[in-house]
Structure 1
């Protein structure tokens, strides 16, 4: 099975970094009724096809990698990122 290892470093701090992580993982926010969640791209794909190795390294099955890579391309001005193919 082929997987893709995505490794990145956020080169800017503040709003661009926050927006990137929110686009990737989504975020929770308080509401009057408790807590709400705004979905990120990882919320839209099955949990069993990806895993964080650490905060800036993601291992994902090849067929779903393009969906996640769109976010990386969108924020490429604020990131340095690399894509590696991994055989498991």
Structure 2
């Protein structure tokens, strides 16, 4: 695996968020983080803090270690959600 840690965190964050039907906006709101910051984290452009990782993991209801899971470099980036999509049932 050649993916750097920031990109790995971003890929896993996006995959978990999309799998749960959460928009960046909803995740950011629930985690108390700016939406554009979530986008930068998902692109691997931010050095995210442990506190931010904990907040995001809490909203996603996963252990923070899931954000560090190894990613196959050839795996396609998870698809995006339509704008404004909220958690199912919300």
Query: Quick check: which one's strand share is greater?
Result: 1
| TM bracket (short chain) | 0.3 to 0.5
The structure with the largest helix share of the pair is 2
